[in-house]
Structure formats: structure tokens, C-alpha cells
A and B are shown apart, each in its own frame.
Chain A
């Protein structure tokens, strides 16, 4: 696709950890308003791609543009300021702090007076968090913690929200709730880039998908097209 209308545009990105090269020239364009899913085998570089965009890893080559500005080489705090949120794999950062305190921590980059109102609005929007606002976050179920993490990242009003395996460890009902939440966030205008092993579920809600293999682009297409592609089904969807 033409990159001019892309909100996030990666070109030939190479990145890795010490001697291990994980991304070997990945290109990806995400348009404003889209939900894009990255799928692929374990170790293909999916999580590394998100970490690299978020500035946790400095790309060794390639460009990463966000809202038409180069962000490759910026650190996470600056990437956050530019409007990219990130929900990493796993659970909440501050399990001993209450749900409300976790939200306050999430707003640490903000100096304005509307933080309080935004936190209240988020609690109203996610009733499951409101009923537990004074409980330690660590006592929430896995799905509730996932929703808390998404709520925290929304406090900075990101234009792009990156989520690493939103369904990890969740029971079937909670998976539905979390994906419904992602769709709702997207409908309100936040662009979503997610990594997900529940590839069928992810592709079924995505505008587009990218299949990574050994750190390179392998397939790209609409969620629907990838779900029906025989080769993708065979190699990345468990042959079903």
C-alpha cells in the first residue's frame, strides 16, 4: 500500500538482541482507524516488532515513521508522548497497588487537570474495574488485569495502541470480553496493532493481517483473506 496515508510505517526494519537478529527487514504500514494483527510461529519476531516500535529496542536498519515523523531510535517515553500506547504480554505492573492507583500511575506523563475526570470516565466505561477500584490490582482475574492494562494505556489518549497477546491465559468468556473491548476502543478512533496467537479470533476482528516468518514478511492481506488462504491455514492456523 502507499505509505503516504499510513499512521505507522515501518520499512525494512532490522532489530534484535545482542548477537541474535530477530527482525530481518520487516515492512508494515498501518492506516489510521485500522485494526491490524500480526501472527506467526513462536520466535518469528512478533513481540520484538512491537518492542522496536515502542523504542525498547533500537532498530539496526530501516525506518519507522509515525504520523509522518521518524521515531526510530526514540525511547519509550518519547514514543508514548508521540501517541503510541503499548500493552505488553503478561499482567499488571503494580499488583500491590489498587486499580485506581494503577490508573494514576498510567497518567504520570500528563500534567493537565483533566486526569481525574479521565480516570472516572474510564472507570465508568469499564464497570468491572469500577467495582474493584480500591482492590489491589493483583487480586483481579487475568482478564480483568488485561482490561486494566488497556484502560491505563488509554489515559494518554494514544492514536495507536499496540497490544501483545490480549487473550493470553484468558477463559473463553473473558476472551470475548477483551476482544469486544478492543473493538470498542477502535470504534472510538484508536488504531490497533496487536500480536495474537489466537490467530483465528484476531484475524476475524482485524481489517488486515501480517504473517511474520523468521523476522520477515511472509503474507499480508485482509483478515478475511488470510483466514481463507489455504497456505496460511495450513501453516499458521493449525490446518483448520
Chain B
């Protein structure tokens, strides 16, 4: 059974069909990229899958559960994490604290446990802080762990958000342009890390315009244009597909 299955997904905006009967299946452990011109529906598809937008038609199944009308925080707790193109951080909290907030969004409320502050909870918190520090090191923000997130540059906030999506150790990771605004050297490290997650058996769905990233790490590439799926296949085949060259790569 596919981990994520999108069947005949439809989404309209003001008379425009942003996503037009798209089918997409991602198998457990797969690393799939979604590419297409600006405005082709990639982010809208992400928003529908993660519950940020209600679909107008079709079905979205995650581990066989229908997600069509599940709120974003519930979707997140099913083991699915995402990053956004437009990052927002809690400017007054430190980079480290921001990561702890990301984590909380993925955990069930345990109010009573929080009040009691059991030894187990304290240990979980310590582990979370340690994990957050490791992830900050990973994205080159180790030295800024205690700096207010508001003092980070746009690119650094993107890296913080990437680390945030990894905090909950999700089963399915949806990354929306993680490499945009990130310097080439850090992009290489990001690629290595996505591949490492892939080797650990995690499932990744990536939206990205940086073709070095897409072509180097994807097992399969799905191409959208005007809300419709126009091609799907291994990177080499996609690179040569005349329809994709026409719609996306250009010269």
C-alpha cells in the first residue's frame, strides 16, 4: 500500500483550476520530487495534502486514512511534516526554542503530564533539546542556537525551518523549496541529509526548482503543468521528456 496516495485531486481558486485531477502515489521509503513551472499547482497540492486547504474533489490517503477533511495539526500528528516556501519563525524565541515549538506541533497534548512534570517528561525534554542542537549543527546554525530567530537572515530561517521539519522524526517529509535562498555549499549538505533520511527508510516528497538537487537525489520525478500531471518517471527520462523540456526546462 502506498504511504501517500492522491487520487483525482481537484482544487479551484476563483475560477482557476489550480490542481486538475492529479493522481500521485508515494510508496514507503520513496524519494519523489514534484516539479513544474511557477503556478503549476505544486504548493497547492502540498496544502491540500497537509490539510491547509480543503480539496474540491478527489481523495488523499495517508497510510490508508482519508485526509480530505483533517485539520493540519491532526495531519501533522499522523507522522507527516512539511516545510513552507514562506518561512515564519517566532522572532523573539531563540533558534533552539523555535525547534522545540516545531516539535510540540507534532505531539498530542499531554496537559496533565505537563502539569505533573514527571521525570519521564523531563527526560523527553532533554532529548528534544539535544536533538534540536544536533539539527542546528547540521544546518550550520549551531553557533546561533541561542540567538533570537528574528535576527537570522531569510536564508538562515529557511534552514531553521528545514531543521524544524526533522524535529518530529516524521514518516513522510514534504519539503517545499528547501534549497531556495540557501547557499550552494549548504545545499550540498542538505542533499546529503535528505539522502541519509532516505537510507533510514523515511519517505520524502520534494518540491524544488534547483535541478541539481532534484536530478541528483530523486528516485522518481512527477511533473505538473497548469495543474495537471504531464509526466512521471526516473530523473534521466524526465530530463529528456520533450513535454517537460517545453513546459519547464526551456532552453
Contact = CB atoms under 8 A, between A and B. Distances in A.
Interface in B175-229: 177, 180-188, 209, 211-212
A228 interface: no
Given A171-B36, A199-B183, A235-B185, A43 B155 contact: yes
The 4 closest A-B pairs by CB, nearest first: A238-B184, A42-B155, A173-B250, A141-B38
Nearest to B176: A169
B37 A173 contact: yes
B119 interface: no
Given A41-B186, A89-B154, 15 more contacts: A17-B151, A42-B140, A42-B155, A46-B153, A141-B38, A141-B39, A168-B181, A171-B36, A171-B209, A172-B211, A173-B248, A173-B250, A197-B183, A236-B183, A238-B188
A11 to B, nearest CB: 23
Contacts of B209: 169-172, 175
B116 to A, nearest CB: 38
A42 B183 CA distance: 6
Interface of A: 17-18, 20, 39-43, 46-48, 89-90, 141-143, 165, 168-176, 197, 199-200, 235-240
Given A238-B184, A238-B188, A41 B140 contact: yes
Size category of the B interface is 20 to 34
B13 to A, nearest CB: 9
Interface centre among B187, B209, B250, B251 (most CB of A within 10 A): B209
B34 to A, nearest CB: 12
Contacts of B155: 42-43, 197
Nearest to A175: B209
Contacts of B90: none
Interface centre among B182, B183, B187, B250 (most CB of A within 10 A): B183
A176 B248 CA distance: 11
B53 to A, nearest CB: 17
B105 interface: no
A200 B152 CA distance: 24
A211 to B, nearest CB: 10
B156 interface: yes
A173 B249 contact: yes
A39 B155 CA distance: 12
B11 to A, nearest CB: 16
A47 B157 CA distance: 13
B151 A142 contact: no
14 contacts: A41-B140, A42-B140, A43-B155, A90-B154, A142-B39, A143-B38, A173-B249, A173-B250, A174-B38, A176-B251, A197-B182, A200-B184, A236-B183, A238-B184
A43 B248 contact: no
A48 B155 CA distance: 12
B136 interface: no
B17 interface: no
Contacts of A20: 147, 151
